[in-house]
Amino acid sequence: MKKLSIKLKITIWFTTTMILLSIVVFAFFMLISRNTSSSQVKNTLVNIVDENTREVSYDDGEIDIDDDFEMLKNGVNCVVFDSSGTKVSGYLEYDEFGLEKLEDGVLKTVIVNNERYFIYDKLVYDDDDPPIWVRGIVNENNNIFLSSVMYLSILICFPLLIILASILGYFIAWHSLKPIKEISKMAEEIEKSGDLSKRIELKNNKDELNNLAVTFNNMFKQLETNFESERNFTSDASHELRTPVAIILAQCEYAFENATNTDELYEAIGAIQKQGYRMSKLIESLLQFTRIEQNIENTTMQTINLSSTITSICEEYELIDIKGITLEKYIQNDILFNADLSLITRLCQNLIQNAYRYGNENGKVIVTLKEENNSILFSVNDNGIGISEDEISNIFKRFYRVDKSRSDGKGMGLGLAMVKQIAEMYDGTVKVQSELGHFSTFTVIFEKGLNES
């Protein structure tokens, strides 16, 4: 049974149930018809005997049996006896029928040769003449017509019923399993072709299988987006790694074939080292980025004092003193937030670091943290190179750098992508306001209520 397909199983179950059901119905029907038929036989017997009594009379002292007297009608055998009990007319199949005592209006049951017979007697009075007996005998199973129809129907209908039931069962199974077949066919196609953009066609009915198809489609969609972003990430990353590799190989080739003195060799080695640093920095950022992506489940939620966290990050930057930039901070005290400390630190660091990187020499970076209408606003402002309008939509993309010609090996174009990813983890949003050549302000907004629920 385990090896059979569900379709076949359903068909077999359906057919078996149908057969069992019809057997029960037939048995029930036979039981009822048996009872009704024996009472029907008795009625027929009484009726025929009664009818025949009208056809018996005396004619000139002799018993006269009219032509309308029916000796055998509907299986009822009629015999005429005179008042002394001597058979006048009729045929007795078994002697026992004649030996039975004559009793007027009484219906008796006699068993001869293991078969049940009904016997009914009727006295006919004709004026002063001695009465005449009319006896009717009938087999209990006389209802030949009914039973033969029954057997016939059983004989013909049963195989027909089985065939019909199995066809119907198969059809029902096929029809109800059709969507499953389509789903598995589609899944197989996707497996073979690897094309995740394919979807299962949906019907309009809203049954369980349709729900299953919808679930499958959603799963495919999710998989597709995941794979797509994975693929983009790999292609972006490989693209970013190609340039330094190309430079290293080119420098080597030049050094081997064209360098004429040690100065040129040193220059080549210096260039190679620079690209090596660039690659190592890139790999580090890539690792960090993928770790954030993969370890979302491993983060520990805790209540962070955002105010003190951000204050200490700001103080670090003030100490390092990059490009003569002054940092101003307006931080509201004791703002609490539920999140992973290392992720939130990374988010704040990336934004402040960007402000320093793209800020002007001797410029100003303003860090603000405040709570307003149940949302937390963290913003970092710099008066640096700014971002043009058409670039704003791109800055959160991985590996996108506003100032592309800066191949100083510092910015990898991953910082803002990380900021966005972390913010979205905590249902936050990142907003940018900027004017090219004047300023940029990045604001991260967390809804407090959302985060705590």
Q: Compute the Cα dihedral for 19, 21, 23, 29 and give only its sign.
A: negative
Residue with tokens 């009872």: 35
Task: With CA atoms as reference, report the closest residue to 45 among 113, 155, 143.
Answer: 143
Instruction: Give me the least distance between CB of 289 and other proteins, in Å please.
Output: 19
Nearer to other proteins, 95 or 389 (CB): 389
Nearer to other proteins, 147 or 243 (CB): 243
167 binds other proteins (CB under 8 A): no
For residues 435 and 379, the answer to whether their CB atoms sit within 8 Å is no
Burial of 166 (0-12, 13-18, 19+ CB in 10 A): middle
Which residue type does 436 have? Answer: L
| Using rule CB under 8 A, residue 245 touches other proteins | yes
- Of 204, 205, 258, 298, the residue at the interface with other proteins (CB under 8 A) is 258
- Choose, by CB under 8 A, the member of 185, 221, 239, 438 that binds other proteins: 239
Mark the segment that binds other proteins (CB under 8 A) among 11-19, 216-224, 243-251, 355-363. 243-251
Instruction: Give the nearer residue to other proteins in terms of CB position, either 258 or 262.
Output: 258
Distance CA 246, CA 413 (A): 19
User: How many whole angstroms separate alpha carbon 110 and alpha carbon 118?
Assistant: 6
**Is residue 262 at the binding interface for other proteins, with CB under 8 A as the rule?**
no
Q: Interface residues for other proteins in 199-238 (CB under 8 A)?
A: 235, 238
Of 104, 189, 195, 253, the one binding other proteins (CB under 8 A) is 253
Residue type (1 letter), 277: Y
Task: Count CB neighbours of 343 within 10 A.
Answer: 21
Q: How far apart are CA 80 and CA 220, in angstroms?
A: 93
Contact assessment for residue 413 and residue 399, using Cβ atoms and an 8 Å cutoff: yes
Query: Minimum CB separation from other proteins for residue 265, in Å?
Result: 13
CA–CA dist 273, 263 (Å, integer): 15
Q: Which is nearer to other proteins, 240 or 340 (CB)?
A: 240
Interface with other proteins, residue 392, by CB under 8 A: no
Q: Distance of CA 66 to CAs 16, 59, 114, 346, 401, Å?
A: 58, 11, 34, 123, 126
Shortest spacing between CB 243 and other proteins, in angstroms = 5
DSSP string, 126-183: ETTEEEEEEEEEEEGGG-HHHHHHHHHHHHHHHHHHHHHHHHHHHHHHHHHHHHHHHH
| Residue 251 near other proteins by CB under 8 A | yes
Which one among 20, 163, 246, 436 touches other proteins, defined by CB under 8 A?
246
Closest to other proteins by CB, 251 or 350: 251
Shortest CB 210 distance to other proteins, Å: 36
Binder among 84, 362, 404, 449 for other proteins (CB under 8 A): 404
Output the smallest distance, CB 300 to other proteins, in A. 39
**Helix ranges (DSSP H) in 72-143:** 95-99
CB of residue 354 vs other proteins: minimum separation in angstroms? 19
**Which stretch of DSSP H or E encloses residue 7?**
helix 6-53
Window contacting other proteins (CB under 8 A); options: 116-124, 132-140, 239-247, 330-338:
239-247
By beta-carbon proximity to other proteins, the closer residue of 51 and 391 is: 391
Least distance to other proteins from the beta carbon of 433, Å?
Answer: 23
Taking the least distance from each CB to other proteins, the nearer of 54 and 231 is 231
Phi, psi of 396 (to 5 degrees): -90, -5
How far is 55 from 90, CA to CA, in rounded Å?
14
| Rounded CA separation 226/294 (Å) | 12
Region 270-289 residues binding other proteins, contact defined as CB under 8 A: 271, 274-275
According to the binding rule CB under 8 A, does residue 193 interact with other proteins? no
Q: What DSSP designation does 397 have?
A: S
Q: Does 405 bind other proteins (CB under 8 A)?
A: yes
**Least distance from other proteins to the Cβ atom of residue 403, Å:** 9
Whose structure tokens read 């640096």? Answer: 384
Contact between 249 and other proteins per CB under 8 A: yes
**Identity of the residue, 358 or 426, whose beta carbon is nearer to other proteins in the bound complex:** 358
Tell me the site size for other proteins, rule CB under 8 A: 22
Tokens encoding 195: 């094309």
- Which residues here bind other proteins, judged by CB under 8 A? 235, 238-239, 242-243, 245-251, 253-254, 257-258, 271, 274-275, 404-405, 407
